[in-house]
Amino acid sequence: MLNRRRFLTISAASLAMASPVRSGAAGVYTWSGIALGARATIRIAHPDAAAICARAAAEIDRLEDVFSLYRVDSALMRLNAAGQIDAPPPELLECLTIAGAVHRATGGLFDPTVQPLWALWAERSVAGGRPAAEDLAAVRAIGGWSDLRLDAAQVAVLPGMALTLNGIAQGYIADRVATLLEAEGLSDVLIDTGEFRAIGGHPEGGDWPVRLAEGGAVNLRSRALATSAPLGTVFDAEGQAGHILDPRAGLPAAAKWRAVSISAPSAALADALSTAACMASDVDEIAGWLSRFEDARCEAAVPV
């Protein structure tokens, strides 16, 4: 079975990957690596920048052991394989709690339990086809978010269910790296794990200006930014079946948006909301969802 992260082709040119305008500014050290299969960078101006970034990289690696869909012994993979995990990592609990809040706010459109549907689409697409209606119905009948049991003692799902946190975990990892660096007293750092999280502003003054792939820029200061593109990755050769699945029918989200960018106090929240926003019918629906979260804003919603 293909997993979602291995199937996705992620590049710096994708719509979900904006870029800092002044990424090459003098005195700013840039660490580059990988987080959940995506390019990751940390930009920081500090005499011990290399050592600091090494600690951040170790934190990213530790969190891969929680959220990865390709490390067979990650907490998420063990949950999906066994249907339950006892004494779950606190990061898994926290991330699922945030996911639940976005699930409720979006009327169930943000739903990490779509992983079996995603795997079905991936397998059929590799074979050159698409899932039959009866196959989609069978997978959708397995269970959904309401069948997830979550507390400090155990996370459990029904047999056959599986979770993906790829619509929120990259942002969550950015938040955790920010927490680590802030605990060391650092400021004026830009973290990019596929989603952006700024601690303070640019070391040379002002905010971190982040250029959006679809045009325009967002100035970040102590804030996060996430961008999702329904057709950034597709299942079909025609480029019409996007990778963001609508849980209501198990089908790719209608391609109404080229890209949606959301900013929020946390990258996990921005990440989840931008994913859900790809399924919104219009900007008013997006605004309604965002109104349920303090200081969440739609920075760009580019129609197809």
pLDDT at 26: 53
List domains and CATH numbers for the chain: 4-303 (3.10.520.10)
What distance in Å separates the CA atoms of residue 168 and residue 261, rounded to the nearest whole number?
Answer: 14
Taking alpha carbons only, the member of 114, 109, 144 closest to residue 280 is: 109
CA dist 195 and 180 (Å) reads: 17
Residues of the chain below pLDDT 70: 1-26
Report the C-alpha gap between 130 and 8 in whole angstroms: 17
CB 122, CB 4: distance < 8 Å: yes
What's the confidence (pLDDT) of residue 28? Answer: 93
With 0-12 / 13-18 / 19 or more C-beta atoms within 10 angstroms meaning exposed / middle / buried, residue 58 is exposed
- pTM for this model (two decimals): 0.91
Please report the pLDDT score of residue 237 as a whole number. Answer: 86
According to DSSP, residue 148 is labeled -
Q: Which residue, 168, 230, 223, is CA-closest to 200?
A: 223
At 16 the pLDDT is: 31
Q: Which residues pair with 189 in a beta bridge?
A: 44, 199
Whole-angstrom distance, CA of residue 5 vs CA of residue 74:
14
Task: Write out the two tokens for 63.
Answer: 């969190």
The pLDDT value given to residue 239: 87
